[in-house]
Structures are given as C-alpha cells and as structure tokens.
Amino acid sequence: MIAWRAGVVTECRARWDGACESTVAIEGEDRTVRALSYPHLVGEVVPGARVLLNATALLRGLGTGGYALVVARTDSLVPDPLPGPGHLVKARYTPLQAMVLGVDDQESAHHEVLREADDLAGLPVVVADLHSALPAVVAGARAAADRLGRPAPRVAYVMTDGGALPAWFSRAVDGLRSAGWLQACVTVGQAFGGDLEAVTVHTGLLAARHVVGADLVVVAQGPGNLGTGTRWGFSGVAAGEALNAAGVLGGRPVASLRVSGADARDRHLGVSHHSLTAYGRVALLPADVVVPEFAPDLPGTPQDLTADPDPAAWAAFGARVAAQADGITAPAGRHTAVRVGAGTALLDALRTCPVRLSTMGRGLDADPAAFLAAAVAGAHAVTAG
C-alpha cells in the first residue's frame, strides 16, 4: 500500500510556514525527486540528511503537488517535544499521529469561553468545495467592503479534513496570512497545523467567532480533493455538512458554487455536480446560494481571458449556471438564489490577490468563471445582513 524510498537530501529549496521543499537523491536509482517535509513532525531536513520517503502518490501521479513526502530522518532522531498542554491527537493511529493543544481542550486558555458557546450570532460563513476557492472568496469580500467604504473583514479559515491534513501544505494559507488577508486558520477534524486546532467544524466555527473575532468565516477542505466519478464518492460532500453546522449554530450560511467554464467533463462544466449534490441533497438547512451574473463587458471567454471578447459566450455560460442553480434553490429547492454581478471590477480585484490563483491546474486566465463564482460569494457575505 505504500511505496517506500530511501535517499539523501542534496538541496533545500523553497520554505514556507510549516513546510520545507528539498531535492532528494534516491538510493539505488539514478534520479532525484522533489520532497516535502513538515519540520514540526519530522524535524529539520538539511543537505546530507538521510531520509525515508513515502513515494506512493508521486509514483502514481496523484495530487500531492508532485512531491514525495518525508516520513523521517534515518540518520538522526528528532528530539522529544518539550512538555506542554494539550491532549488532542490528530492523524490518529497513523505512524505520524501528532498531539496538539485544541482551542476547545480542557487545558486551553479558551476552554471556558467555548465550553458553553453555542451561537454564531449571524456570522456569515461561506462554504466552498475546493481549497482553491479560499483566496477568491476573500478577494471578493475585500473588494465589496472597499466599495462600501468599510474596513476589510477579519477573516478566519476553517479547514476541514477532506483534502490535505496538514495546513502547512497550503502556500495559499501562508501567503494570505502574511499579506494580512487572513487572520487565522482553524484546523478541524483530522486536519492539523492551523493557528488554532479544534475537534469539529462546530467548535472551529465557534472559535472563529469567540476567539479569533472574525467578521467572516470561510470553510473548505485543505488542498487536494478526492473524487471517484460517482455521485456520492467525493470529499466535497462535507461542504453540505458545513452549511448545516453554520445554520445549526445560528450563523448565516452562504454556499459558494463550484463553477468551471473550462472543465472538459460535462459533470463539472458550469456548476459542478459536487455543488449540486452537497448543497441540494446534504445541506438540510436553508442557505444563500450565490449565483454569478457575468457582465457582458468581461474580456475573453469563460474558458480563456486572453481570447477575443465574446459577450455571447459569457451570456450562454451564465444561463447554464443559472439554470443549474435553479435545481437547488426555491421554488425547486430549499435554498435562496442570490444573483450577484461579476464584472471587470471583480476581475481586477482577483488580480490583486497576494497568492497564485489555481484550480484543477488552471489559473485565472484559463478558468476565470471558477474564481469569479467564488468571489461573488465573498462579496455577498459582506454586503448582505
């Protein structure tokens, strides 16, 4: 089940918060691979270090960013961590299970605040299927606040465990936090490595309000997405459950549609069947489903911003998205359709994002509709209520 490799680190490359990228020469093979390590788990990896790698996903060409993952140094034991509070174990019963201090832990300074906490008091909670929606949602929210003459919202990201478990894998989280666009990342369930750790989406949301003091929460899985090409076999099902959590706790649930103008698969063209299933079948409490209305003056096409402008293509694509959303909104469904304009001003706001925009390997120019659909959800969360 695991493809193991041993090797020697030849170069330390990029670093970001909680992660280190290196080059490793594989023993017995005339090649090197890119490897990713998490210093909080395996210690520092330096040139000359011997390491054990999990190369399973890399050899299969799966979505780990093209990395082998460092499991351990085999030439030096990492010192034991200093004694400290916390007894939450994440990645439980795996060889790299880690003990963390939960924000809702009995030993946490915030335990008393969260012990009886039960209300989000109308806090807007934008739920998205893919991690790639996060920077676009925040960009849309900031643009809306600026247009209204308000301060930029204080944003907390609640990261669920459907994709990557370590928040450290996400360069977007690191970049948004460094730019001041994101105040805190709260990792929930089996996910770990956030600024705050929580047991469930519910306590993560409550921590976002009562500890972070967020004006806006974005909930999405970490980088990566598991799908089997079946109606129910995809990790984004949890997006519907997150909307339920926001509603049960008295928040204002906002559903960000997963949209693509460039995906070759019909089930993901326009509104993805992932959104239609998660929001239409799993989300049992009403939410605002934000439907982008693409402006005729947008450049290019929904597939390519560098192409000649084609208002007819945008109009036809917008009609497809609206018709698909109609299936999960009133009167056919329980949710409320909220139509929000997506024009050049919002596109300009997306271009100011301090991190790279990429979804399913496509950037802003190659799938603008995907990011505009996420951005309008952030804009609505700020302007409504």
Q: Which of 175, 213, 180 is nearest to 196 (CA)?
A: 213
pLDDT at 342: 97
Which of 58-62, 177-181, 209-213, 371-375 is predicted with the least confidence, judged by mean pLDDT?
A: 58-62
What is the pLDDT at residue 377? 98
Answer whether residue 115 shows pLDDT above 80: yes
223: helix, strand or coil: coil
355, pLDDT greater than 80: yes
H or E element in which residue 157 lies: strand 155-160
If you average pLDDT over residues 9-15, what whole number do you get? 94
For residue 22, name the pLDDT band (cuts at 50, 70, 90): very high
pLDDT, mean of residues 364-373: 96
What average pLDDT score do residues 143-155 get?
97
Per-residue DSSP letters for 162-208?
SS-SBGGG-HHHHHHHHTTS-SEEEE-TT-B-SSEE-SSHHHHHHHI
Q: Which one, of 114, 44, 108, 112, lies nearest residue 77 by Cα?
A: 44
Residue 145 confidence (pLDDT) above 70: yes
Longest dimension (CA), the chain: 64
Report pLDDT digits (tens) over 325-336.
999 999 999 999
Q: What confidence tier does 49 reach under pLDDT thresholds 50, 70, 90? A: very high
Backbone angles phi, psi at 33, to 5 degrees: -135, 155
More confident residue, 84 or 218: 218
Q: Residue 64 — very low, low, confident or very high, per pLDDT cuts 50/70/90?
A: low
pLDDT of residue 236: 86
pLDDT (mean) for 250-276: 91
Q: Is the pLDDT of residue 201 over 90?
A: yes
Say what the pTM is: 0.95
C-alpha dihedral, 114 to 116 to 119 to 124, nearest 10°: 10
pLDDT tier at 63, thresholds 50, 70, 90: low
Most confidently predicted of 66-80, 195-209, 253-267 = 195-209
Confidence at 134, pLDDT banded by 50, 70, 90: very high
Kindly state the percentage of the chain with pLDDT values over 90. 84
Answer whether residue 266 shows pLDDT above 80.
no
Q: Which helix (H) or strand (E) element contains residue 257? A: none
Count of beta carbons in the 10 Å neighbourhood of residue 306 = 9
- Residue 24: pLDDT above 80? yes
* Residue 228 pLDDT: 84
Distance CA 259, CA 275 (A): 9
Give pLDDT, residue 151.
97
Please, what is the average pLDDT of the chain? Answer: 94
Q: What's the CATH superfamily of 4-73?
A: EutN/Ccml (2.40.50.220)
Mean pLDDT (whole number) for 268-293: 94
User: Which pLDDT does position 76 carry in this prediction?
Assistant: 87
As a whole number, mean pLDDT of residues 265-284 equals 91
Which whole number is the average pLDDT over 65-77?
A: 90
- Residues 283, 240: contact at Cβ < 8 Å? yes
Q: Dihedrals φ, ψ of 215, to 5°?
A: -90, -20
Phi-psi region of 65 (alpha: psi -120 to 50; beta: other; left: phi over 0): left
The predicted pLDDT at position 338 comes to 98
Question: Do β-strands 98-100 and 88-90 pair in parallel, antiparallel, or remain unpaired?
Answer: antiparallel
pLDDT of 222 over the 80 cut: yes
d(CA 372, CA 136) in angstroms, rounded, equals 7
